Structure formats: C-alpha cells, structure tokens
Amino acid sequence: MEGLIRPHGGTLINRIIEGKEREELAKKAKGLKKLPLNDREISDLEMIAMGAFSPLEGFMGKEDYHSVMDTMHLKNGLPWTIPVVLSTTADVAKTLKAGSDVALVNQNQECLAVLHLAEIFPHDKEKEAFQVYTTKEEAHPGVKKVYEMGEMLLGGKISLLKRTDYSDFSEYRLDPKETRALFKEKGWKRVVGFQTRNPIHRAHEYIQKCALETVDGLLIHPLVGETKGDDIPASVRMLCYKALIENYYPKDRVALAVNPAAMRYAGPKEAVFHALIRKNFGCTHFIVGRDHAGVGNYYGTFDAHYIFDNFDPAAIGITPMFFDHTFYCKRCTSMASYKSCPHDSADHIALSGTKVRDMLRGGQYPPPEFSRPEVAAILIEAMKGAK
C-alpha cells in the first residue's frame, strides 16, 4: 500500500488458499500422509500463511536454517535471527519423501494445511540451542522446547486451507494486511509497535508515550501465543490493555491488536525477530526496552539494544527505539529513566515482579506511581480466581 513501509523482503506473503484452488487441494489432502502439529507449530504455520513471517513461504530448509544460526541472515542476505522449522521423529521422516505433499493436521485430525515437502534434514538441536539462545541449559524455556522437538526437520512451502477458529479476542486478531489497511485509513505513516507478554505498568506506559510524541500512531501488539506457565494469561492481560487505553491514551492515536506468535524467550535475537514481524504488520518503528524477550539471567540488560549494531539499518528496514530502565522518581515527581534522571535509586519507585505479585495476591494495590489502579484491580480479581 502506498505510503506504508514495505514488508520484509518487499512482498507481503499470502499462503492462504481460497476458492477453487482450495477445494481441489482440500480434496487431495484427504489422501495424503498426515502429520499432527502442536500449538506452537500451528502458530508458526498461521504466521507464515498470513505474511507475518514474510519473506518465509514455508518452514525453513537446510540452507536457511544454518544461515540464520551462523550469520543471523537468510541465505538470500535478508536479516533473520530465529529458525522457523517443523520437526518430526526419525521414524516418521523415513516414511516421507522430498517432492511429495503432506497434510498438516491438528489434534482433532482436521487438515489445516498442506506442506509441499522439499527437504528432510537433521535437526541440530545443540547448535540451535547455543546459537539462538546462547545456552544449552534445559532450564531455559526456549532450549527446553528445542530439545522436545523431533530429530529431523521438514522444509518446504505451505498452503493453508483452514484457519484456527479462535473464540478469544477475535476482534483484535488482525492480519498484517488488516493492520496495514487500518494504518492507511487513519492516515498513519509513522507507526511504533510495542511488544509485550505482560500487563502494562507505568514504566511501559511512559516509554510508549515518549515514542508516541515522535510518530503518528502506536500499535500495542501483545503476544498471545504460547508463553511460560507462570506468565499472566492473555485473556487477563487484554482486559488490562483495554482499561489503559480507555482511561489514559488518546484513542485516535492508539490501536490494539494481538500477535498470535509463540514466545521463544531468545532475548536479543528475539528482539530483532519481533521488530521484523512488526515491520510486516506495517510498523515503521519498534520499541526495544531493557532485557527484551529475556528470561532468567541469560542475557545482559541491554544486549537487545546492542544486537542491532550487527545489521545494516536499511536491510532491517524498521527503526528500533531504545529505552533505558524507567521508573517514578520521587524527587523529579515524574516518570523518568537513567538517561534523564540524576537522582539516587533510593528516590525511585521500582518493584520486583515477585513483590508486585505478592501484593496483588494479598489484595493490595501497588503504588499508583507503579501501576494504574484500574490495571491493579483487574489483576487482583484475576488472582483471586486463580487461588
């Protein structure tokens, strides 16, 4: 669309098959070998099909897989930092043949897509763990997922026949073509995207509004795919986001949509991955906070900022906006960061996640300088129900 940022690779991929072509392929799929997918694989399948993973048209082949791990670029030279692959067991792989089609089915045996199988190759799990997540420890949730995958990988384009019928927050499930149409309708040319898997507290609100001062619009784009078991459920988080927008944001300059991707917890490499996804959704800018997509102590506080120095800005295409640790300063009497506040940390209101969760479980509101009361009320109510 004219005036909007071009998707990664120049073309917004669409592997959703419709009309007569869909009817014919669905009929053919009934006689194909079936491969069941788990929730994460279904998420990746749909992200590919809708163009959110442009320029990928399917699951990666061997050259792209190793190029991404070795160079953080696809074999064609485009920046890309996270392998998007489909695995299976060695026994199942022996029954498949490159050049054939495979029906990809859900747990109910419904055919979701056809994989046009081009390659079958070994899954180098230890290399993937170390080069993507910087550790081979199974305690890392991303590494654990890699180790749980099959020994062989299947590469090839996909043709999506059936979308998952999600009943939750359906009005916010916008494909890249739809967010792009929304931005065009609003007249937004400079749009900043914000990734989150947590409720938005005052520090997040502060950096969003700082970014909003320099662009036309803000896309709050929470990830609602698979996350860790101790993360706040997406349904609760969505209530928090809506309460914030209703009470504290200019409604004509903020959009809310969900990102159905699965969380990898890959720290710096996932920061770049998240930026490229938002570029495909039509964002020109992307907020990168401290410890973006981090978990535990596996990554340095600002590694997610430094990693962008490894790429040609023109090749990345989307502009990262880097923010320091933010907090409320009692002496400044305002939100601030280490870049703008000269005062000692004793003057800063900053609470650990553990402390906040303990307060909420006890029905106690965190200080208003840390969390908006409307958000705290939603979280307290949710934690009552979780007991």
Q: Which of 14, 106, 198, 310 is catalytic?
A: 198
Q: Round to whole Å and give the CA distance between 304 and 74.
A: 20
- Amino acid of residue 346: A
- Amino acid of residue 272: V
HSE value, Cβ hemisphere, 13 Å, CA-based, for 346: 1
Q: Round to whole Å and give the CA distance between 280 and 176.
A: 6
Find the DSSP H helices in 79-175. Answer: 90-93, 125-133, 141-148
Q: Are 32 and 114 in contact (CB under 8 A)?
A: yes
202 is catalytic: no
Q: Which of 15, 173, 180, 197 is catalytic?
A: 197
Residue 376: strand, helix, or coil = helix
Q: Is the dihedral of CA 135, 137, 138, 140 positive or negative?
A: negative
198 is catalytic: yes
Give the C-alpha distances (Å, rounded to integers) separating 358 from 130, 196, 227, 351, 373.
Answer: 34, 21, 21, 11, 16
R_g over Cα of the chain: 21
> Which positions are catalytic?
197-198
